[in-house]
Chain A
Amino acid sequence: GENVEQHPSTLSVQEGDSAVIKCTYSDSASNYFPWYKQELGKRPQLIIDIRSNVGEKKDQRIAVTLNKTAKHFSLHITETQPEDSAVYFCAASSTGTASKLTFGTGTRLQVTL
């Protein structure tokens, strides 16, 4: 089955700095890579996703890159703000009848003033 590794487990940045979270996956059949943000006591919320036919996707301060050859994908947050503080999960799945998402272990991002 799929295995997703995520690093770092914790990340502390100053407000305005950039944050980068990296994930690797094992199953070459995986073709969909979402990122979820989970605030304390809340549900995971999709913030950005990328499909295997695209190398990079950007949405305002958030960008995701995908290297299919190396089986790496990364989340980049620029100009971080205190409200970016949360746990971020990467995930991978292959699309079919229904998605079977495998999550990374999570990164706790702390944005300090």
Chain B
Amino acid sequence: DTEVTQTPKHLVMGMTNKKSLKCEQHMGHRAMYWYKQKAKKPPELMFVYSYEKLSINESVPSRFSPECPNSSLLNLHLHALQPEDSALYLCASSPVGVPGNTIYFGEGSWLTVV
């Protein structure tokens, strides 16, 4: 089962709202990722968790706050976002330490900030 599940699929939020994106995988992967993708652009890495610890933060603004409660779950907490943060947010997971470390993407959460 190569499935990464993301909720919600669509989210509209105001600039003063607080919301969260959720991601779940049951493939036993110990690395999980958040990517941001704008229209007609490639995915851009935001955060990487390895063994439930934050290992990479690509200088993401603090209005995005990741959380990894356990090895299957990954959240992205959103607060005081700007309209330019509207994008597709992709969660992904992969094995750790396996040559190749194939990354599997979820369906994504479409975020619109108004």
Contact = CB atoms under 8 A, between A and B. Distances in A.
Contacts of A105: 41-42
B71 to A, nearest CB: 13
B48 interface: yes
A97 interface: yes
A61 interface: no
Given A42-B107, A98-B50, A34 B102 contact: yes
Interface residues of A, number: 24
Given A44-B43, A103-B43, A106-B41, A98 B105 contact: no
A34 B49 CA distance: 20
Contacts of B97: 95, 97
B64 to A, nearest CB: 18
Contacts of B61: none
Interface in A30-52: 31-32, 34, 36, 42-46, 49, 51
Contacts, number: 68
A98 B102 contact: no
B103 A99 contact: yes
B100 interface: yes
A44 B99 contact: no
A46 B102 contact: yes
Given A49-B100, A97-B50, A98-B50, A43 B105 contact: yes
Contacts of A101: 43, 45, 103
Interface of A: 31-32, 34, 36, 42-46, 49, 51, 89, 93, 95, 97-106
